Amino acid sequence: MFSTKSAHGASGGDVTPVKEAGPLTHETRLPSLAVEPGEPRVAEAVTSRIEAMLESLYPTVDVAPFHNVGHARETRDHALRFAARAREYGVDVDCVALEQAALLHDARYDIAPSSMALPSREDVHAFFAYNVLRSQGADDRHALKVARIIMGTNSMIEPQSIEEKILRAADLFGFSAPYDVFREGGQRLYQEMYSLSGVMEPVPYSEFARKQLSHLSLYLWPALDITPSYNNPRGQSGWHEGALTNLIGLFRAEVCPAGKVVADLTGDLTDKVWREALVGDSLVVRVHRDQSVREAMLADMRSVAEGITPKPPVFVVPGGPEGSPLPRASCDIVITKGGALSAEAQRVLAPGGRVLAAV
């Protein structure tokens, strides 16, 4: 699953992959790696050795103000907390593989994927994780499983296994943190963009924030619920509600204070209506009910995030017309079936906002 390009190991030597089958990508997924009943787990000692070498696997804080060893450890702590909660509900979690994946999920963030002929940062992280684990005595099956869990953090992949969902949720935990914590993380990402790229002339933070909105929209479309504690009192994703609160706040504070937040609560593709609703700068939130809506929007969202299509940021989030994860009084325009002011539309409609009928 990995190319044979050498990876610089923690000991200072070269670690050579043992498999050769092309790069691991979001288009070429790893095979199913479910642990068979009774299969021996990798020893805890491997995790301890990874922890001991962690500083050497991540760039320093001055190089990567966000994606450094501190973020790796925070993600590990969140992941193990989520795993413990899942196990309370009887969900089986491979905590050894999960912890190792969390610790290694952003390894060598300072290496550009293009320099290794890999298509994404997640491929880089999975590549190094696989080789580190093999060099520390993990068997091939386990190393591949950890690599697959790490690939689940790729924004273009739908997390499949319990471990992938937990790591994705842990990695994105800061999305739903209090707004000042969320914004401080964004500032560190802003600094990191220049420290890693070497660009000397920074763009205004408002322009960076606009691009971030489009990029972050790609992380909102999967549902990551594993236990009932994931949901808010209305039965919708509490994490999405917190993340949308922050992202809408960022749009209004940093990107376009006079812009409109448009919500489509129909769960359908009402392109004509919401495109007509966009006057000036807008941010669009589309609440989906099924996989078809999500799939129909995915390619469009990616083109927006990559700057190919000059459209407003479009968030697609899981939910239904009578129960969205949108925060209360958050939307200037709400699109509903027949233009009816449903209880959910009334809940999310901002003072002075308007309701449009889907066609």
Greatest mean pLDDT among 158-162, 181-185, 308-312, 334-338:
181-185
Question: CA angle at residue 139 from 134 to 141, to 5 degrees?
Answer: 110
pLDDT for the residue 301: 62
Please check whether residues 209 and 324 belong to one and the same domain: yes
* Single-letter amino acid code for the residue at 267: G
End-to-end CA distance of the chain: 47
Name the band, by pLDDT with cuts 50, 70 and 90, for residue 7: very low
Domain extent, residue 284, equals 180-358
Q: Where are the alpha helices (DSSP H) in the chain?
A: 44-57, 69-88, 95-104, 121-135, 140-151, 162-171, 179-197, 205-216, 238-250, 271-277, 291-305, 343-348
Is the whole-model pTM more than 0.95? Answer: no
Please check whether residues 123 and 224 belong to one and the same domain: no
Please check whether residues 325 and 217 belong to one and the same domain: yes
* Phi–psi pair at 351, nearest 5 degrees: -55, 130
69-81: per-residue pLDDT in tens? Answer: 999 999 999 999 9
Please check whether residues 167 and 225 belong to one and the same domain: no
Residue 142 belongs to domain with CATH number: 1.10.3210.10
Please check whether residues 131 and 190 belong to one and the same domain: no
Q: What tokens were used for 213? A: 């909105």
Maximum pairwise Cα distance, the chain: 66
With respect to residue 241, please indicate whether it lies within any of the assigned structural domains.
yes
143-158: per-residue pLDDT in tens? Answer: 999 999 999 999 888 8
With respect to residue 2, please indicate whether it lies within any of the assigned structural domains.
no
With respect to residue 316, please indicate whether it lies within any of the assigned structural domains.
yes
* Phi–psi pair at 7, nearest 5 degrees: -120, 135
Please check whether residues 97 and 190 belong to one and the same domain: no
Please check whether residues 194 and 274 belong to one and the same domain: yes
Mean of the pLDDT values across residues 342-353?
Answer: 91
110-129: per-residue pLDDT in tens? Answer: 999 999 999 999 999 999 99
37-68: per-residue pLDDT in tens? Answer: 334 455 578 999 999 999 999 999 999 999 99
Neighbours of 229 (CB within 10 A): 12
Query: Using CA atoms, how far apart are residues 81 and 98, in angstroms rounded to an integer?
Result: 11
- As a whole number, the mean pLDDT across the chain is 81
Please check whether residues 167 and 37 belong to one and the same domain: yes
Q: Point out the domain boundary residue: 171, 191, 206.
A: 171
Instruction: Report the side by side order of strands in the sheet with 260-264.
Output: 314-318, 282-288, 260-264, 331-337, 349-358
With respect to residue 209, please indicate whether it lies within any of the assigned structural domains.
yes
How many domains are there within the chain? Answer: 2
Residue 213 belongs to domain with CATH number: 3.40.50
Name the band, by pLDDT with cuts 50, 70 and 90, for residue 280: low
Please check whether residues 162 and 186 belong to one and the same domain: no
Please check whether residues 278 and 195 belong to one and the same domain: yes
With respect to residue 289, please indicate whether it lies within any of the assigned structural domains.
yes
Question: CA angle at residue 150 from 148 to 154, to 5 degrees?
Answer: 100
Please check whether residues 198 and 344 belong to one and the same domain: yes
Please check whether residues 337 and 276 belong to one and the same domain: yes
**Pair 10, 53: CB distance under 8 Å:** yes
Gyration radius of the chain's alpha carbons:
21
With respect to residue 1, please indicate whether it lies within any of the assigned structural domains.
no
Q: Which long-range contacts (CB under 8 A, 24 or more apart) does 252-260 make?
A: 254/205, 254/206, 254/209, 255/206, 255/209, 255/210, 255/213, 255/281, 255/283, 256/210, 256/280, 256/281, 259/283, 260/332, 260/333
Q: Point out the domain boundary residue: 117, 137, 171.
A: 171
With respect to residue 116, please indicate whether it lies within any of the assigned structural domains.
yes
Q: Point out the domain boundary residue: 118, 147, 171.
A: 171
With respect to residue 157, please indicate whether it lies within any of the assigned structural domains.
yes
